[in-house]
């Protein structure tokens, strides 16, 4: 993600929060929300806008689903748009959950074992819907660009950038030097990139926000320190939009989110395939071996972390000044790969942190997230990634 996308991401997170806040206020402080459902729509709406330059009304459609009678006040076209948006976000959820199915069961099992065959069929039907939808979006945007007069500027989004790359309408300021890539992209290549962004950019960040809300609910002293930092950086104005500069100043917030991630990582393993034979862990491995690195185990290993089971953001806060967290100081570079590393490092990492930090400020400076059941464990499934299955909360005004 280029700096211009990151700037837009801050702006859009501010804007989208204002929309979501109005729905939450309408529902009222006693309403029990499933926070993951809201956050998934928030992050999907963000990545949809960044990827395509348009809104998909993921949050509005969810709100309208909850407030059934609202539907009656909408006309058929508006209802159709909201339904389409609901189907789209559900298809991403189903596609992501289904990936594990195709990972775990071989071709024979998927085609001949009765229950599994039925499930695989449904997943494939969902895949067709999602792929068609994305190809339609690409085709429609191509036509729009072709019909835009040359003297009119094109908007800035991933799709427009991919479609125009290496054409006379190129909106990309920076050119790739590799000769093989100095040609326009095909629809298939564009589709692959947009699909990856949608998949990578929806559940991951939504889960991270929910996991953080869960830990803050259980560690009020951490929440209080976090708010002190927000108040110091942002002042008393509870409505001022957040800026990139604000985010850079939030050191304790950084530490809190890292500690949440260490305890409840989302991408709990990272995979690699070796391109040539290699020696790993004392053994020779042939070319083409698949490795899965269980990073969740690295993040809790006693050789790398002081009191690894303890929830303490201070292990990430100004750790270079600390004597207590010597292990962290020495080892963190290789033991904490939130976003993977090397050439395949997560391209959405900046966007994820922008959304996460912005939302934490926007929510906690003005409201409190109250967990409905303080005794409930963090509910999640470990499939391809750790996915929060439910987080029941009430959003209350903050008590000063």
List of E strands, the chain = 33-34, 269-273, 278-280, 283-285, 290-294, 367-371, 379-382, 386-390, 392-397
Residue whose token pair is 């290993």:
301
When asked if residue 208 is in the footprint of ligand HEM (CB under 6 A), the reply is yes
User: From CA 63, how far away is CA 78, in angstroms rounded?
Assistant: 14
Place of tokens 């819907």: 129
Q: How far is the CB of 181 from ligand HEM (least distance, A)?
A: 15
- 345 sits near ligand HEM (criterion: CB under 6 A): yes
Q: How far is the CB of 112 from ligand HEM (least distance, A)?
A: 32
CB 288, min distance to ligand HEM, A: 17
Closer residue to ligand HEM (CB): 82 or 255: 255
**Near ligand HEM by CB under 6 A, which window of 30-38, 133-141, 246-254, 347-355?**
347-355
Query: Which candidate, 229, 200, 235, places its Cα nearest to that of 216?
Result: 229
Minimal distance in Å, beta carbon 103 to ligand HEM? 15
The footprint of ligand HEM on residues 281-340 (CB under 6 A) is 338-340
Residue 336 near residue 258, CB atoms below 8 Å = yes
Q: What x-and-dash track marks residues 79-118 binding ligand HEM by CB under 6 A?
A: ----------------------------------------
Lookup: tokens for 123 = 């997943």
CA distances from 295 to 1, 193, 300, 363 (A): 24, 26, 9, 30
Residue found by looking up tokens 């990309």 in the block: 172
Q: CB-wise, 208 or 336, nearer to ligand HEM?
A: 208
- 386 is a contact residue toward ligand HEM (CB under 6 A): no
Give residues 236-275 in contact with ligand HEM (rule: CB under 6 A): 266-267, 270
| Closest distance to ligand HEM from the beta carbon of 213 (Å) | 14
CB environment 325-338: b (16+ within 10 A), e (fewer): bebbeeebeebbbb
The pairing of beta strand 290-294 with beta strand 278-280:
unpaired
Q: Which long-range contacts (CB under 8 A, 24 or more apart) does 217-224 make?
A: 217/369, 217/370, 217/371, 217/374, 217/393, 218/371, 218/374, 219/311, 222/256, 222/311, 222/313, 223/364
CB-nearer residue toward ligand HEM: 53 or 64:
53
Q: Is 346 one of the annotated binding-site residues? A: yes
The residues in 185-204 that bind ligand HEM, with binding defined as CB under 6 A, are 196-197, 200-201, 204
Q: Does 362 sit near ligand HEM (CB under 6 A)? A: no
341 binds ligand HEM (CB under 6 A): yes
Residues 24-53 that bind ligand HEM (CB under 6 A): 47
DSSP 270-315: EEEE-SS-EEETTEEE-TT-EEEEEHHHHTT-TTTSSSTTS--GGG
Of 141, 298, 348, 362, the one binding ligand HEM (CB under 6 A) is: 348
At its nearest, how many Å lie between ligand HEM and the CB of residue 385?
8
Residue 206 interacts with ligand HEM (CB under 6 A): yes or no:
no
| Rounded Cα gap, residues 56 and 201, in angstroms | 15
Closer by beta carbon to ligand HEM, 82 or else 266: 266
Binding site for heme: what residues are annotated? Answer: 346
Which chain residues interact with ligand HEM by CB under 6 A? 47, 196-197, 200-201, 204-205, 208, 266-267, 270, 338-341, 344-348, 351-352
Binding site: what residues are annotated? Answer: 346
């Amino acid at each position: 993600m280029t700096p211009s996308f990151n700037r837009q991401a801050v702006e859009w997170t501010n804007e989208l929060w204002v929309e979501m806040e109005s729905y939450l206020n309408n529902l009222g402080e006693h309403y029990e929300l499933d926070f993951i459902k809201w956050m998934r729509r928030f992050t999907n709406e963000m990545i949809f806008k960044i990827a395509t330059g348009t809104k998909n009304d993921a949050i509005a459609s969810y709100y309208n689903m909850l407030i059934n009678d609202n539907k009656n006040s909408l006309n058929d076209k508006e209802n159709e748009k909201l339904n389409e948006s609901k189907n789209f976000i559900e298809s991403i959820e189903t596609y992501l959950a289904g990936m594990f199915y195709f990972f775990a069961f071989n071709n024979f099992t998927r085609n001949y074992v009765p229950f599994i065959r039925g499930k695989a069929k449904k997943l494939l039907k969902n895949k067709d819907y999602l792929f068609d939808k994305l190809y339609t979006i690409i085709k429609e945007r191509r036509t729009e660009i072709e019909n835009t007069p040359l003297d009119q500027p094109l908007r800035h989004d991933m799709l427009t950038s991919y479609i125009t790359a290496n054409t006379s309408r190129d909106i990309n300021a920076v050119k790739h030097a590799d000769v093989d890539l100095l040609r326009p992209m095909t629809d298939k290549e564009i589709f692959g990139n947009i699909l990856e962004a949608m998949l990578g950019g929806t559940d991951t960040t939504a889960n991270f926000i929910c996991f953080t809300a869960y830990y803050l609910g259980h560690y009020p002293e951490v929440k209080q320190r976090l708010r002190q930092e927000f108040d110091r950086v942002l002042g008393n104005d509870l409505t001022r939009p957040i800026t990139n500069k604000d985010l850079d100043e939030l050191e304790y917030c950084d530490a809190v989110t890292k500690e949440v991630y260490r305890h409840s990582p989302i991408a709990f393993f990272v995979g690699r395939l070796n391109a040539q034979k290699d020696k790993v862990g004392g053994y020779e491995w042939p070319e083409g071996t698949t490795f899965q690195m269980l990073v969740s185990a690295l993040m809790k290993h006693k050789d790398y972390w002081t009191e690894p089971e303890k929830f303490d953001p201070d292990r990430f806060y100004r750790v270079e000044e600390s004597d207590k967290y010597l292990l962290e100081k020495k080892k963190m570079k290789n033991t904490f790969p939130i976003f993977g590393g090397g050439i395949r490092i997560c391209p959405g990492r900046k966007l994820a942190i922008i959304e996460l930090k912005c939302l934490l400020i926007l929510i906690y400076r003005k409201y409190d997230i109250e967990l409905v059941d303080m005794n409930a464990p963090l509910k999640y499934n470990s499939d391809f990634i750790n996915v929060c299955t439910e987080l029941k909360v009430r959003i209350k005004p903050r008590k000063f």
